[in-house]
Chains A and B, each alone.
Chain A
Amino acid sequence: EAGVAQSPRYKIIEKRQSVAFWCNPISGHATLYWYQQILGQGPKLLIQFQNNGVVDDSQLPKDRFSAERLKGVDSTLKIQPAKLEDSAVYLCASSGTSPQGTDTQYFGPGTRLTVL
């Protein structure tokens, strides 16, 4: 079974530029997550989709971050404009959707963003 795919793996941009990350979840997984992992910290949820609807974006900085999941499969996370503090690894994860919420989240390799 193929895992969660992410691209690019690395990205370096200047502050105030824009950047986009792509994620392809495990086939059949209805729920998709984007996490931000700042160096030395644990991942923090930015946004959660169930199919193509947003179920939690409470920690997404909506003035500069946006995400979409068209057709309920692939997802794109965008930052515009980027700030120095956005330097982090952006992790995508996916899971099934059991009513009990017991599904395991499986993570992609991440995209390491450096903002100069």
Chain B
Amino acid sequence: AQSVAQPEDQVNVAEGNPLTVKCTYSVSGNPYLFWYVQYPNRGLQFLLKYITGDNLVKGSYGFEAEFNKSQTSFHLKKPSALVSDSALYFCAVSPFSGGYNKLIFGAGTRLAVHP
């Protein structure tokens, strides 16, 4: 079965420290990978995606993610966390089978950045 795992329900980090939010996936073939962020009472905001090419993808608000095919992982990173980064983060994969690109989401990781 196709699935996405975000092993941490919550990640706590001090402002100014680097952060990592983990994601692994189980999808056949060469899927496309995405990160979205959700603020309270808001929809999902697109951060970045990996389609092909360089394994390090840069996105919005200073976030980046590293694709590792052998470990089937796509971890989200940021060199220096801000309090305003506190939100719910979702990893998603698009199997793109049959020409249809639905997203399969993980359960989400809550990031708390403390001053």
Q: Please give the residue numbers on chain A whose beta carbons come within 8 Å of chain B beta carbons, in ascending order.
A: 4, 6, 31, 33, 35, 40-45, 48, 55-56, 91, 93, 95, 99-110, 112
What residues of A have a CB within 8 angstroms of the CB of B36 in the complex?
Answer: 107
The smallest beta-carbon distance between A47 and chain B, in angstroms, is 10
Closest to A50 in B: B100
What residues of A have a CB within 8 angstroms of the CB of B102 in the complex?
Answer: 33, 45, 48, 56
Interchain CB contact (< 8 A) of A101 among B101, B106, B108: B101
What residues of B have a CB within 8 angstroms of the CB of A41 in the complex?
Answer: 107-108
What residues of A have a CB within 8 angstroms of the CB of B104 in the complex?
Answer: 45
What residues of A have a CB within 8 angstroms of the CB of B4 in the complex?
Answer: 42
What residues of A have a CB within 8 angstroms of the CB of B83 in the complex?
Answer: none
Interface residues on B, range: 20 to 34
What residues of B have a CB within 8 angstroms of the CB of A105 in the complex?
Answer: 46, 101, 103
- Bound CA span A48–B94, Å: 13
A33-B102, A102-B51 known; A43 vs B32 contact (CB < 8 Å): no
Closest to A105 in B: B103
- Bound CA span A35–B36, Å: 14
12 contacts between A and B (CB under 8 A): A35-B103, A40-B107, A42-B90, A42-B108, A43-B44, A43-B90, A45-B103, A91-B44, A102-B51, A107-B43, A107-B44, A110-B43
What residues of B have a CB within 8 angstroms of the CB of A107 in the complex?
Answer: 36, 43-46
Identify 10 new A-B residue pairs, CB closer than 8 A, beyond the known A43-B103, A45-B104: A40-B108, A42-B4, A44-B105, A93-B44, A101-B32, A101-B96, A101-B99, A102-B32, A104-B34, A105-B103
B22 contacts partner chain A, Cβ-Cβ < 8 Å: no
A42-B106, A109-B42 known; A95 vs B92 contact (CB < 8 Å): no
Within 8 A of A (CB), among B25-63: 32, 34, 36, 41-46, 49, 51
Interchain CB contact (< 8 A) of A104 among B42, B43, B49, B90: B49
What residues of B have a CB within 8 angstroms of the CB of A106 in the complex?
Answer: 46
Q: Report yes or no: A42 in contact with B43, Cβ–Cβ below 8 A.
A: no
What residues of A have a CB within 8 angstroms of the CB of B51 in the complex?
Answer: 100, 102
